[in-house]
Chains A and B, each alone.
Chain A
Amino acid sequence: MITDGSTHAGVHTALATARPIRARLAWTVSVFGLLAAATCVLAPLVGSTPISLRRALDPSLPFASNVDAQILFIARLPRVLAGALVGASLASSGVVFQALLRNPLATPFTLGVSAGASLGAMLVIILGGTIAVGPWSPVPAASLAGAAVAAAIVYALANGPRRAMSTTVLLLAGVTLNAFFSALILFVQYLADFAEVYRATRWLMGDLDVGGFAPILGALPLLVGSAVIFAVLPSSLNLMGVDPDSASSRGVDVAATQRWAFISASLATSAAVALAGPIGFVGIVVPHLVRLLVGVDHRIVLPASALFGATFLVACDLVARTLLAPVEMPVGVVTAIIGGPFFLWLLVREG
């Protein structure tokens, strides 16, 4: 039975498979990179308070009295930078988790890392913890610790000596941990004081206003570390995405690739959630959109998703802080409002 496959896989544009990969990679990185750069340059210029770029960059005005400069450098720039880093991390870890679980519907939060992060944050907010770790203030530090615990549990359950990780066990462990930690989160909130509950709920909505460059610098080593690992995974992920046994017979160390994929994606997700709270939908909307545009080769999808993730989150944050000015919407709400219908549309399309 010959089927017409031309309409099946979606829009395969000029960026897609007809051309050799080197050209496609160069093209894709250029286009998405330009888009990301443009967004990151323009975003700090727009906000609830109109500022003048000329005034902000005027060296003759003392900084202390230059409100435009203060807003640009102290309020907006860190926020855009945080948005770009968090967006890139969530999108790329989404791609890696999807490859690891062999399922395009996986998200960076599927395996419980975000639930662990949230529990850590909740405990500090509600029990009033005050231990800061270097540039990490108490809540992000606890959030990171919670994420690490969750990831460690899932890793231990799914890993066997010298054999490949079972994706079934991974998924079950992650989903169970999600449910368990979510229940704990609700319980802790129940025990809390009203004001604490409000602060906790607010944290769970995500917030890119991280309060300066220090928290970003704190998260940077983790994000860079995971990016370095991301750089070497894609071709192995491709082979494993077709057939894990064939991948093994083609020279891929499947067990090692799975471990590194899990570690790097968990690291990126933990750092992103600890920094800005759990911001949903970036990790699934961006990879899907990117695949629709450039095909499914991970060597292109991963860098393109990172770049587009940065663009997407910075743009969503821009909407969040200007749409209902002077009131700010939580950025997680904006990503959900855009992501939710998009996802439904995808499902309708596939079905």
Chain B
Amino acid sequence: MPLAASTYLVAHELSYAYPYRGRARSVPAVSGISLAVARGSFTGLLGPNGCGKTTLLKLMAGVLSPAAGSVTLEGRVLADLPRRVAARHVAVVPQDTHPAFDYTALEIVLMGRHPHLRAMQLEGPGDLAIAHESLEATGTLHLAHRPFTSLSGGERQRVVIASALAQQPDLLLLDEPTASLDLRYQLEVAALLRRLSREHDVTMVMATHDLNLAASMCDSLALIRNGRLLGHGPTNEVLTADTVRQLYDVDADVRFHAEAGHLTVTPVRRAG
């Protein structure tokens, strides 16, 4: 596949299976997925629960090593990059975060500076400034010295996003970032992510099962079912009633909502 100048990440024939003890076969999670992510784009990995989108995200992050295939970042193979170097380019926002200890929001954001520090180096004033900027970008600067566990769900996610931003990544991977949030905070975080995508030139890939969220935020979608790629392309082209039926076994009404400014998906009935 020719490497377009604007391509940031290429996933090539990725396969991965989770090892299961005591079973003859392991369970395949991702099978032969190939995907290119354009620089500056906001791509959604869309599919039902268990379809392999989280696994795909972890493969893109380098947290998991593919059984077959490869991930390249701007032409460099991810598996060949030292962990710390890769971490300077790719950051992950997990679905939810449960720290074992009572860190403050600022401490958690500062941890995002880890890949940029040498082995035993402590954060300096520069790192502190970047952390403050990140908190500000997510509207959480006033929470800096509050213990993370005392924050609301929406505040926590925003702090975690700030923490990922502090890594100054080229690529931000988000795993169901609004799944555990109330509606109000869902919209809050969604608006934040859209703004960050536009203003900070960060390429984003988001795994989600929420069709409307994906429609509202992503400019391109990759549809995944049972570990395989069903389709990939700009949202308006890819998100149709047909593809929704293929993905979810649901008959839905897909139409453009003028006031919201994006496609909306309204499930009507179960298909078949």
User: A: which residues have CB within 8 A of B?
Assistant: 1-6, 8-10, 12, 17-18, 20-22, 25, 99, 102-104, 163, 231-232, 235, 238-239, 241-243, 245-246, 248-253, 291, 295-297, 299
Contact = CB atoms under 8 A, between A and B. Distances in A.
B61 interface: yes
Contacts of A25: 122
B194 interface: no
A243 B100 CA distance: 8
5 contacts: A12-B145, A17-B107, A22-B122, A241-B100, A251-B84
Interface of B: 19, 58, 61-63, 82-84, 86-87, 90-92, 94, 97-104, 106-108, 111-112, 114-115, 117, 119-120, 122-125, 128, 145-147, 149-152, 155, 167, 173
Contacts of B94: 243, 245-246
A337 B195 CA distance: 57
A329 B77 CA distance: 64
A2 B152 contact: yes
Given A241-B101, A251-B83, A251-B114, A20 B123 contact: yes
The interface centre, meaning the residue of A99, A235, A291 with most chain B CB atoms within 10 A of its CB, is A235
A299 B100 CA distance: 16
Contacts, number: 117
B142 to A, nearest CB: 11
A250 B86 CA distance: 8
A116 to B, nearest CB: 26
Contacts of B58: 245
Q: Top 3 A-B pairs ranked by shortest CB distance?
A: A5-B150, A251-B84, A102-B100
B102 A9 contact: yes
B91 A249 contact: yes
Given A5-B147, A20-B123, A297-B107, A245 B63 contact: yes
A242 B97 contact: yes
Given A25-B122, A246-B92, A249-B92, 5 more contacts: A5-B149, A246-B97, A250-B115, A296-B107, A297-B107
B167 A250 contact: yes
Nearest to A238: B111
Contacts of A242: 97, 99-100, 103, 108, 111
B115 A251 contact: yes
Contact of A8 (B83, B91, B147): B147
Nearest to B58: A245
Contacts of A99: 100-101
A47 B114 CA distance: 48
A319 to B, nearest CB: 31
A20 B123 CA distance: 8
Contacts of A243: 94, 97-99
A250 B114 CA distance: 7
The interface centre, meaning the residue of A17, A20, A250, A252 with most chain B CB atoms within 10 A of its CB, is A250
A18 B87 CA distance: 27
A253 B101 CA distance: 20
A159 to B, nearest CB: 14
A250 B63 contact: no
A8 B145 CA distance: 12
B150 A8 contact: yes
Contacts of A250: 87, 91, 111-112, 114-115, 167
